[in-house]
Structure 1
Amino acid sequence: MSTSQPVAAGQPRAPHMPSDVTPQLSFFDKFATHAAEFVSRAWFFAACLLLVLIWAPSILVIRDVDTWQLIINTATTIVTFLLVALLQNTQTRNDQSTQDKLNALAEAVAVLMTHTADVHDRRGLHDAVTELRDAVGLEDRESS
Structure 2
Amino acid sequence: MPLDVSHKVSPFDHFATRASQLAARAPFFLFCIVLVLVWAPSVLFLPLDTWQLIINTTTTIITFLLVALLQNTQSRNDAATQHKLNAVASGLADLMEHVAKDSGSHDLDERRKELRRAVGLERDESA
How high is the TM-score relative to the length of structure 1?
0.79
| Equivalent residue in structure 1 for 2:115, among 132, 138, 144 | 132
Q: What SS is found at the alignment partner of 1:22?
A: coil
| Equivalent residue in structure 2 for 1:71, among 25, 47, 54 | 54
Report what 2:22 is aligned to. Answer: 38
Report what 1:7 is aligned to. Answer: none
Pick the structure with more helix per residue. Answer: 2
Report what 2:8 is aligned to. Answer: 24
Q: What SS is found at the alignment partner of 2:9?
A: coil
How high is the TM-score relative to the length of structure 2?
0.89
**Cα distance in 1 between the residues matched to 2:49 and 2:55:** 10
Counterpart residue identity of residue 35, structure 1: A
| Equivalent residue in structure 2 for 1:113, among 70, 89, 96 | 96
Counterpart residue identity of residue 21, structure 1: V
Larger relative contact order, structure 1 or 2 (CA cutoff 8 Å, min sep 6): 1
How far 1:103 moved relative to its partner?
0.6
Report what 1:10 is aligned to. Answer: none
Does the 8 A contact of 2:100 with 2:109 survive in 1?
A: yes
Structure 2 residue runs without a partner (length 5+): none
Residues 76-122 of structure 1 show CA distances to partners (whole Å, capped at 9, x for unaligned) of 10111011101100000000000110010000000111111111111
Report what 1:81 is aligned to. Answer: 64
Structure 1 residue runs without a partner (length 5+): 1-15
Runs of 4+ in 1 over 4 A off after TM superposition: none
Report how many aligned residue pairs link the two structures. Answer: 122
Does the 8 A contact of 2:5 with 2:83 survive in 1?
A: no
